[in-house]
Each structure stands twice: as C-alpha cells, then as structure tokens.
C-alpha cells in the first residue's frame, strides 16, 4: 500500500524560515526570567566540549521544534524537516528532505566515513510527528516550548520523540565540528508519520530510497529510561518489540424488535466473547531478551513488580485490549451484527495463523468471527553485539550506579521496519530517573516534559557511544 499522489519523492529546495515564521517560533510564551536561569552541569566535563553551551544550544533546538506543530494527523512534518536542514547547513552538513507528498517529508543526513576499512553504517533514527494534545488539560500550552524556572522544557514531543531528534542532531553537529575521522557512515534520519505506522515516513523511505538508510546498526527511541532499585539504576535498552495484530470481532445474531428479547442477540454474543478474551489466561512466553532482563534484575524483581507490574506481565504474554465497539442504529432494534476492535500485541516468534487459532479457541462456540486487520510480527535483536556492549560500557561512566539491561518494547516504533531487515536496532534515549518525570508515564500524556539536565545527560551518553563506535582508530 502506498500513500496517495505521486510516487516520486518531493525534494525540497534549500530553505530559510521567513521573518514571520521566526517571530512565531521565538516569541512564543515563556515564563519570567527564563533566560537568566543557569543550566546546571552535573557531569565531569568531557575534553574539548563546552557542555553548558551545548545545553543552551540543544534547549533552543527543542523549543523550536515543539513550536512547529506536527500533530499527526495531519502531520505536516515538512516544516520541522526543513528547520533541521537549515541547522545542519550551518554546520556544512548537507541533508535531503524527501517524502511522498509536499507536507509529509522526512529528513536524512549523512556524515561519510574516511579512508579504507569501512564498517556498516550507524543510523540515528527518530521521528518528527507527535500525537494530538488537549491544550485545556496542560499546565503550559503544548506547542509553546516553555522553559520554566526549574529547567524543565514543556511541550508535546519532548519525550516522544523530538527530544531524541535534538539529541541525535547535536551528536551529529559535535562530530562534524570536531572533525573526527570515521570508520563508518553516521546517518541521521528524522522521519514523518511514525505515530500512525510510518506509511508516509520510514516505510515509504525504505520502499523508495532504501540506499539513503543503508545501515547495519540503529539507535532509536523505545528505551533508555533509568529505574532505580536498591542503590542501582537499571537503564532499559530496547532490543526487541512485540508484534502488532489488531483483531476485528464480528458477532452474528437474529434481528428483531427490541421489545421482544431473545437468546440470539449479536450484542450479547459480542459481550460474552469480549468477556472471555478479557479473562483469558494467556500462556507465558519467555523470549531470550526478557530472560536476560529478568536475570539481570535478580532479587530486585519484586521491587520492580511493585512499580510496573502491568508492563512486566505484558513483556511475557500476548495481550488483548478491547478498544472500539459498534452495533445497531436504533435503540428499539436488535441488530443482526455487532463489531469490536481489539488491540492485540504478540510476543516475537508467533505467526498470524497461530494468533488467530489462539483467539478462536478462547471464543469457542460463540457465533463470532475473528480476523486480523493488520499483522506486523515482533522481532528480537542481539543484546551481545559490539554496539550493545559499548552501550553497557559507556553508560556507567556517566552514572556509576547504572546497569544496562535488554528490554522488550510492549508498543511499536519505526524499529519494526528495520529489525526484520537484519539491522541491529537499539532503543536508547538515556534518561536518569527523576521524581514525577517518568518517560513511560509522560509519553502521549498531558504535560509531557523533560528537564534540561536529562536532555543533556542523554546527549552526552549518546555522543560518547557514537564517537567511540564510529571513530577511525
């Protein structure tokens, strides 16, 4: 399936924002005296880099991107992609802004390797679109890019995923400024449409321009948050994702006048089917990723279960969540059919036929049809490869109590388009635990926000990882 319109890419010309656009971005509401607030730098300085200046620079980029509303639908990511292209052009890094339609463009840039002995490229992947926000439910407007007096940046996308866009952008800029010779290309891709499945973003790019995204490794969203337990901080590095298999249930019955009830009511059949699914004890399915995760936790597992028991259950089982219902057109008419949509997430390694057989067995003899509307299998990557081991090494240098553990993502990211292609994908946006600021809880939520400290903590960790993994020796 392809997006409507011309299948040829719309390549945008070199771009500069207008004075009116700049004024809209830079004069958005802020709190008093925000420019005078010092940005605390809690880490030992890395040689040659002024991290206080980098913090101010990265904060500015993130606030600008928040002010470019890329709510999906409709997306309109091209303005954000052009903004990034402008920033990169200032550092003499060329970028391509491409997409299936003029308003649904992604950005791709590449720092080439030097000399001989080239290694498989590293892709720094993120996305530009964000989910809708309800402004009336927010402390600060979701697209204002407010930086408050406590050093917190507020706005839709700070956690998912414009914060990572900025971290990877700054990593690319720092590598370019330092003139570090590379033994592998570093590719930066900020894509459209991830929140709606990637049809207009990464999936389209891989179909039309796969050479632009040629890579052996990828650092993506989906992990990196630290969880503190018994004096240690476990940083989750996503090495796999559950599959996506939404179900459509259609119940059948005998229509009639609602004043004369009978025992062949499609709505009642559907209710019984949903009750069976909701109460089914689905079998435990322990993947290699989750087994390694649990082994790393050891005796701390019960503590983590108190904090995120639902998540721990979800990474070990298929899950079912009824989300949509449709039946009837008039209150006094018993309909002949009733329909439900059920979000189904599956453990890697299962086929579509296996999922359907399991669901039909649970529903049993009820007159209810079950079908999958989409099927995207899950995947698992290696958690013992060179890049993962480097992540394990670098993180404790920034947090001595930090321990990196592999993790299976319960939701979906653009990584699902790359993992099955043999790319080693690691979801890792490093963030230290902060009271009341869990990335798990803030993604897609009201009052999404990130501290400047954590924005720069993640940038420093990622810079060290990328520099060591890609620098020529």
Give tens-digit pLDDT for 13-51.
333 334 443 343 333 333 333 332 333 333 334 568 999
pLDDT of amino acid 89: 97
β-pairing, 119-127 with 184-191?
parallel
Angle between helices 78-89 and 162-178 (to 10 degrees): 20
Instruction: Note the Cα 371 to chain centre separation in Å.
Output: 27
Identify the structural domains of the chain with CATH numbers, from first to last.
Answer: 19-237+378-470 (3.40.630.10), 243-277+318-377 (3.30.70.360)
> What are the C-alpha distances in Å from 461 to residues 26, 53, 161, 466?
29, 17, 17, 9
pLDDT of amino acid 155: 98
> What are the C-alpha distances in Å from 266 to residues 257, 323, 369?
13, 18, 11
Tell me how far apart the alpha carbons of residues 158 and 443 are, in angstroms, rounded to a whole number.
8
H helix or E strand, kind and range, residue 294: helix 288-297
Give this prediction's pTM. Answer: 0.86
- The residue count of the chain comes to 473
Task: Kindly compute the dihedral angle of the four CA atoms of residues 253, 255, 258, 259, in this order, to the nearest 10 degrees.
Answer: -110
- Lookup: tokens for 124: 């720094």
pLDDT of amino acid 415: 94
pLDDT of amino acid 47: 63
pLDDT of amino acid 307: 85
pLDDT of amino acid 276: 97
pLDDT of amino acid 116: 63
Listed as ranges, residues in the chain with pLDDT below 70 are: 1-47, 115-117
């Amino acid at each position: 399936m392809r997006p409507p319109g011309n299948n040829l890419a719309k390549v945008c010309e070199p771009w500069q924002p207008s004075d009116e656009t700049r004024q809209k971005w830079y004069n958005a509401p802020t709190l008093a005296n925000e420019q005078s607030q010092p940005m605390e730098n809690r880490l030992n300085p890395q040689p040659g880099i002024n991290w206080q200046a980098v913090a101010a620079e990265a904060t500015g980029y993130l606030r600008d991107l928040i002010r470019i509303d890329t709510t999906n639908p409709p997306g309109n990511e091209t303005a954000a992609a052009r903004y990034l292209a402008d920033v990169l052009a200032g550092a003499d890094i060329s970028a391509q802004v491409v997409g299936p339609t003029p308003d649904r463009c992604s950005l791709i840039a590449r720092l080439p390797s030097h000399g001989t002995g080239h290694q498989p490229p590293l892709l720094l992947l993120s996305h530009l679109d964000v989910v809708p926000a309800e402004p009336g439910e927010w402390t600060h407007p979701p697209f204002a890019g407010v930086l408050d007096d406590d050093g917190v940046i507020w706005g839709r996308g700070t956690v998912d995923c414009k914060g990572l866009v900025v971290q990877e952008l700054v990593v690319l800029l720092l590598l370019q400024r330092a003139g570090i010779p590379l033994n592998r290309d570093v590719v930066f891709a900020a894509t459209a449409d991830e929140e709606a499945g990637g049809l207009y973003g990464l999936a389209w790019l891989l179909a039309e321009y796969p050479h632009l995204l040629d890579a052996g490794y990828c650092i993506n969203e989906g992990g990196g948050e630290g969880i503190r337990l018994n004096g240690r901080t476990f940083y989750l590095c996503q090495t796999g994702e559950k599959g996506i298999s939404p179900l459509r249930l259609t119940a059948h019955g005998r229509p009639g006048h609602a004043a004369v009830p009978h025992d062949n009511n499609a709505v009642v059949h559907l209710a019984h089917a949903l009750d069976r699914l909701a109460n089914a004890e689905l079998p435990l399915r322990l993947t290699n990723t989750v087994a390694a995760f649990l082994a790393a936790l050891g005796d701390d597992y019960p503590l983590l279960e108190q904090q995120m028991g639902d998540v721990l259950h979800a990474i070990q089982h298929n899950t079912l969540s009824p989300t949509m219902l449709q039946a009837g057109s008039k209150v006094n008419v018993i309909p002949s059919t009733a329909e439900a949509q059920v979000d189904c997430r599956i453990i890697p390694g299962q086929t579509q036929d296996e999922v359907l057989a399991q669901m039909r067995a649970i529903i049993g003899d009820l007159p209810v049809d079950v079908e999958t509307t989409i099927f995207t299998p899950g995947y698992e990557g290696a958690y013992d490869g060179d890049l993962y081991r480097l992540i394990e090494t670098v993180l404790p240098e920034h947090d001595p109590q930090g321990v990196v553990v592999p993790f299976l993502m319960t939701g979906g990211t653009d990584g699902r388009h790359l993992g099955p292609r043999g790319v080693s994908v690691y979801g890792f946006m490093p963030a230290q635990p902060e009271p009341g600021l869990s990335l798990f809880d803030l993604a897609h939520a009201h009052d999404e926000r990130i501290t400047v400290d954590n924005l720069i903590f993640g940038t420093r960790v990622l810079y060290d990882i990328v520099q060591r993994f890609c620098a020529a020796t």
